[in-house]
């Protein structure tokens, strides 16, 4: 089975194979949890993000990457001094095993409610076996999440003082969702964006430009990229931290580099611009391979 990397496209097959091996190793590599800003914390692995947003009335977890990482994420949360049982809501970027594989288990141990976009909820309930997913047939399956509440585009999720806004960003998967919220350190508040993967990866034979089989897929993809570019975005986080050099920026911050490398109001625009280039390249490739 081809291994799928959710954040990068390579043009040389050997480079892709070597890259996949090292990247997937990082997906299970422990990462010491840390504070991103105020009540926002990183509790994922070196290669896969999981984000905890806390409040006195309960916490929110975004993404639980890979089934066998669930205990590591739980340990990271406890290491920060928080209780897994205080998680009220688990949210998802998109329903692939490397971002949703641990959701069923962490929802079980925490008692939290799982919520996702309409298409995302469908894919979570199918354990990733969604025929509408561009990577259907090649993306690894994961434990199905049986009870998923729906979140509409633009809806705000309230947990205590935390307010997270859902932004539908379909493309990488039909249910892809980006999330934004504000974290405040006393009177200083920052907009944090968890922008979902935007790379047009697929199983062999899938064409994003096949309007008959996948109507509006390209139109929706372009709108998703525009949505990400317009997000309120002082700090950008991505499901694969390497996609936005997130851990490198954290390291520089912790070394005392000024101004704070994590704060970049143009980061979402740059991330979206890179995605536009990748999508254009993919569509040009499809046109060459299947000329009309």
User: 129: domain CATH number?
Assistant: 3.60.15.10
Domain count, the chain: 1
Question: What digits encode the pLDDT tens for the residues 202-255?
Answer: 999 999 999 999 999 999 999 999 999 999 999 999 999 999 999 999 999 999
Range of the domain at 213: 32-289
Q: Kindly tell me if the per-residue pLDDT of 52 is higher than 50.
A: yes
Burial 53-74 (b: 16+ CB within 10 A, else e): bbbeebbbbbbbbbbebbebbb
Asked if residue 6 lies in contact with residue 202, where contact means CB atoms within 8 angstroms, the answer is: no
Residue-level pLDDT at 289: 83
Q: What is the pLDDT of residues 249-274, one digit of tens each?
A: 999 999 999 999 999 999 999 999 99
For the chain, the first-to-last Cα distance in angstroms comes to: 30
- Residue pLDDT, tens place only, 131-179: 999 999 999 999 999 999 999 999 999 999 999 999 999 999 999 999 9
Rounded to an integer, what is the distance from CA 241 to the centroid of its chain?
Answer: 9
Residue 17 domain flag? no
**pLDDT at residue 20 is higher than 50:** no
- Domain-embedded: residue 202: yes
- pTM value surpassing 0.85: yes
In a domain, 7, yes or no: no
* Residue 260 covered by a domain: yes
C-alpha–C-alpha distance, residues 173 and 132, integer Å: 8
Residues 6+ apart with CB under 8 A from 189: 38, 182, 183
- Report if residue 24 sits inside a domain: no
132 domain-assigned: yes
Mean pLDDT of the residues in the chain: 92
Provide mean pLDDT across the span 180-198.
Answer: 97
DSSP secondary structure letter of residue 262: T
Q: Which residue has the tokens 């199918």?
A: 126
Angle, CA 201 vertex, CA 96 and CA 220 arms, to 5°: 90
What is the pLDDT at residue 291?
A: 58
């Amino acid at each position: 089975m081809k291994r799928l990397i959710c954040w990068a496209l390579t043009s040389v097959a050997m480079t892709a194979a070597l890259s996949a091996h090292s990247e997937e190793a990082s997906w299970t590599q422990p990462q010491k949890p840390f504070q991103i800003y105020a009540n926002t914390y990183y509790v994922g692995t070196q290669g896969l993000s999981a984000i905890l947003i806390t409040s006195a009335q309960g916490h929110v977890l975004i993404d639980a990457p890979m089934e066998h990482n669930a205990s590591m994420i739980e340990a990271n949360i406890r290491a920060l001094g928080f209780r897994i049982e205080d998680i009220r809501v688990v949210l998802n970027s998109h329903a692939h095993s490397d971002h949703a594989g641990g959701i069923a288990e962490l929802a079980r141990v925490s008692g939290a409610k799982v919520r996702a976009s309409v298409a995302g909820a469908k894919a979570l309930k199918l354990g990733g076996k969604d025929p509408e997913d561009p990577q259907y047939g090649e993306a690894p399956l994961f434990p199905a999440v049986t009870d998923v509440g729906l979140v509409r585009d633009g809806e705000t999720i309230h947990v205590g003082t935390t307010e997270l806004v859902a932004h539908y960003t379909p493309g990488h998967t039909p249910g892809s969702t980006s999330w934004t919220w504000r974290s405040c350190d006393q009177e200083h508040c920052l907009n944090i964006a968890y922008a979902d993967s935007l790379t047009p990866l697929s199983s062999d034979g899938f064409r994003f430009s096949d309007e008959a089989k996948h109507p509006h897929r390209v139109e929706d993809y372009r709108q998703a990229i525009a949505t990400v570019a317009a997000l309120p975005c002082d700090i950008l986080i991505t499901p694969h931290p390497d996609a936005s050099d997130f851990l490198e920026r954290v390291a520089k911050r912790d070394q005392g580099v000024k101004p704070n490398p994590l704060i970049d109001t143009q980061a979402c625009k740059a991330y979206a611009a890179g995605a536009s280039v990748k999508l254009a390249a993919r569509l040009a490739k499809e046109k060459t391979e299947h000329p009309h």
